[in-house]
Amino acid sequence: MENSGPPADQDAGADAANSGAAPRQPGQYSFVVAASRLPVDRTQGPDGKHEWRASPGGLVTALEPVMRAAEGAWIGWPGSPGDPPEPFDTNGMHLVSIGLSAAEVRDYYEGFCNATLWPLYHDVIAQPEFHREWWDAYVRVNRRYAEAVAAEAAEGATVWVHDYQLQLVPGMVRSLRSDVRIGHFTHIPFPGYEIFAQLPWRKQIVQGLLGADLLGFQRQGDATNFLRACRRSAGLTTHGSYVWVPDTPVGDDDSRRRRLTARRSTGGRSVRAAAFPISIDTRGFGEIATRPGVQARAQEIREALGKPETVLLGVDRLDYTKGILHRLKAYGEVLSEGRLSPPAAVLVQVASPSRERVEHYKRLRDEVEGTVGRINGEFAEVGIPAVHYLHQSYPREEMAALYLAADVMLVTPLRDGMNLVAKEYVACRHDEDGALVLSEFTGAADELTGAFVVNPHDIEGLKDAIVRAATVSPAEARRRMRSMRRRVLDNDVAHWAETYLRALGQVPARASSGPPPGEHAHESAPAGPARAS
């Protein structure tokens, strides 16, 4: 049966999208990316005028060839409140800016995205806040993105929506443009149902995502959690990795028998949810690390640190998910037990500024800086700090030099979708030297099995892993690093994008007359209770 619009039981999120929306005239771009941010930075030219300059990160690097080959457009927020710049073209991409008012930055970006969804999806490490006006702003901004997508996408275009900031966009785009093929990729974890169920708007989020044809997640566990949320919060049936989205609404108060009958007798679409672990531009990053200037800088860093035997390094956005405090606690105890000591060992912690207006982040900064101060107060000597703490952002070349200078890389998140820092460290180590301490709660831990894998909550285990990594034999370090390098070279970000887009191309985007053949049907769990927004 022809698919004629959004999942039929889609409510508030799609209602908002549907309000008075007329079908769109197709635009001209056959590949459209929608992401929270545009891949540009605002810079000041020599004449004092502001201009927008492309800031290629991993995602842009991966998508650039696809963009060039397919007339690509990228839709996103330039990063500061106020009127957006006019659309412009750069590096073969058409960039379309979404404007956010100062109130929307507060309620949508800092509020619903970073103080509701971010902590909720990272297993409530921090307490999420639920505010109806934040949700309203989320719906409004998602609709703005969806309308921009609908205006730019050519007939039958492929649309790729990114991350937790834009979970309603797939459903909204589908309601505006049923001709396009829609993918969504969630870069952060998708939580277990017991946690997700706290969200008053859980059903709308599930239904917004189900506007897509393919939902990508970092780990299989994330996809499984999402499938369970479909069953529990929207009363839908799943079949292996597919969700069956019927054309006819399944009401919350319908009896279980009626819901099952409705599913059998109506048409609908299948949506696939699967794991596509993201990666980095391995060769690009690796190339930076081979530059003589970068290698000389790595030497210079070691000398500036007092030529220690062991340089330990942490590089993170200053975020409570990254486990910086656990790492510092463990390191402080390792020093106090004399298992490592300055000046033979030094820890460099780069904590790049992040979300500085959000309350949890202000508090975290105080705690991290207090802890660094205490460790240095106890273990440093004049001219020999135990921890070098850098609350700054650096160019990629300096990051690569730091990776080259580090004997031990500490990556200890309490929860992390993937963690690219771990992969960047490995990509830089052409010498096959260096050791990685890696939290099991990162997506990267599934792939980088040569790491010293830790549970960061287990401080004794973390201490042991730090010491083992710092004292590992060169032969064992090489064996471990070699296996990790093989993995990061095989699965780079271009491979990730190709794999995802190939799978998106294979999903039947329009009508289908039933669940895919050969899939074993699970009985759906009862629908969760209706929740007021």
CB 450 within 8 A of CB 481: yes
Of 289, 323, 523, nearest to 437 by C-alpha is: 323
Judged by CB under 6 A, the residue of 418, 437, 484, 527 near ligand GDG is: 418
DSSP reduced 3-state for 244? strand
CA distance 366 to 487: 37
Find the shortest distance in angstroms from Cβ 311 to ligand GDG: 17
Residue type, 283: R
Is 513 within 8 Å of 267 (Cβ atoms)?
yes
Interface with ligand GDG in residues 341-380 (CB under 6 A) = 352
Return the number of the residue (340 or 421) whose C-beta is nearest ligand GDG: 421
Considering only 394, 446, 468, 498, the residue that binds ligand GDG (CB under 6 A) is 394
Looking at residues 167 to 206 of the shown chain, list those that interact with ligand GDG (rule: CB under 6 A): 187-188
Question: Given the rule CB under 6 A, which of 164-172, 392-400, 476-484, 508-516 is the region that contacts ligand GDG?
Answer: 392-400
Shortest CB 278 distance to ligand GDG, Å:
4
Q: Residue 14 corresponds to which tokens in the numbers above?
A: 């799609």
The least CB distance from residue 456 to ligand GDG, in Å, is 15
> Which of 420, 462, 467, 477: binder of ligand GDG (CB under 6 A)?
420
Query: Nearest approach, Cβ of 199 to ligand GDG (angstroms)?
Result: 19
Is residue 459 within 8 Å of residue 326, measured between CB atoms?
Answer: yes
- Dihedral pair phi/psi, residue 63, rounded to 5°: -90, -15
Cα separation of 326 and 527, whole Å?
A: 39
Tell me the H-state helices in 380-443. Answer: 396-405, 420-428
Q: According to the binding rule CB under 6 A, does residue 219 interact with ligand GDG?
A: no
Among 131, 228, 396, 468, binds ligand GDG (CB under 6 A): 396
Classified as helix, coil or strand, 18 is: helix
Amino acid at 150: A
> Which of 70, 364, 399, 527 lies at the binding interface for ligand GDG (CB under 6 A)?
399
C-beta of 475: minimal distance to ligand GDG in Å? 29
317/339 with CB nearer ligand GDG: 317
Of 23, 58, 44, the C-alpha closest to 423 is 58
Q: Which stretch binds ligand GDG (CB under 6 A): 27-35, 95-103, 237-245, 413-421?
A: 413-421
Token pair in block for residue 228: 């369970």
How far out from the chain centre does Cα 98 lie? 20
Tell me, what amino acid is at 351? A
Binding flag, residue 417, ligand GDG (CB under 6 A): yes
Contacts of residue 46, Cβ cutoff 8 Å, sequence gap at least 6: none
Type of residue numbered 159: V
Q: From residue 272 to residue 311, what is the string marking binding to ligand GDG with x (rule CB under 6 A)?
A: ------x---------------------------------
User: At its nearest, how many Å lie between ligand GDG and the CB of residue 264?
Assistant: 38
Based on CB atoms, which residue is closest to ligand GDG, 139 or 399? 399
- Rule CB under 6 A: choose which of 43, 80, 393, 471 binds ligand GDG: 393
Please, what is the minimum distance in Å from the beta carbon of residue 47 to ligand GDG? Answer: 27
- Report in angstroms how near the CB of residue 529 gets to ligand GDG at its nearest: 31
CA dist 503 and 525 (Å) reads 28
Q: How far is the CB of 447 from ligand GDG (least distance, A)?
A: 12
Q: Shortest gap between Cβ of 487 and ligand GDG (angstroms)?
A: 15
421 binds ligand GDG (CB under 6 A): yes
From 65-73, 76-84, 247-255, 387-395, give the range in contact with ligand GDG by CB under 6 A.
387-395
Which backbone phi and psi does 327 adopt, to 5 degrees?
A: -60, -45
Nearest to 301 by CA among 196, 216, 390: 390
Which one of 67-75, 289-297, 388-396, 447-455 is the stretch in contact with ligand GDG (CB under 6 A)?
Answer: 388-396
- Residue among 508, 527, 507, 515 nearest 11 (CA): 527
> Which residue from 61, 241, 419, 439 is in contact with ligand GDG, where contact means CB under 6 A?
419
Q: How far is the CB of 287 from ligand GDG (least distance, A)?
A: 15
Token pair in block for residue 117: 């969804």
User: Is 317 a residue that touches ligand GDG (CB under 6 A)?
Assistant: yes
Among 93-101, 136-144, 380-388, 418-426, the segment contacting ligand GDG (CB under 6 A): 418-426
d(C-alpha 344, C-alpha 309), whole Å: 5
Which candidate, 449, 448, 438, 390, places its Cα nearest to that of 414?
Answer: 438
Q: Contact region for ligand GDG (CB under 6 A) — 143-151, 244-252, 295-303, 419-427?
A: 419-427
In the list 107, 424, 447, 492, the residue contacting ligand GDG (rule: CB under 6 A) is 424
Token pair listed for 526: 């009862």
Q: Cα(273)–Cα(216) distance, rounded to whole angstroms? A: 6
Strands laid side by side in the 452-454 sheet:
387-390, 345-352, 310-317, 408-411, 435-439, 452-454
Q: Indicate which single residue of 213, 416, 447, 492 sits in contact with ligand GDG (rule: CB under 6 A).
A: 416
Phi, psi (deg, nearest 5) at residue 397: -65, -40
| C-alpha to C-alpha distance for 95 and 85, rounded to whole angstroms | 10
Residues that bind ligand GDG (CB under 6 A): 187-188, 278, 315, 317, 352, 393-396, 399, 416-421, 424
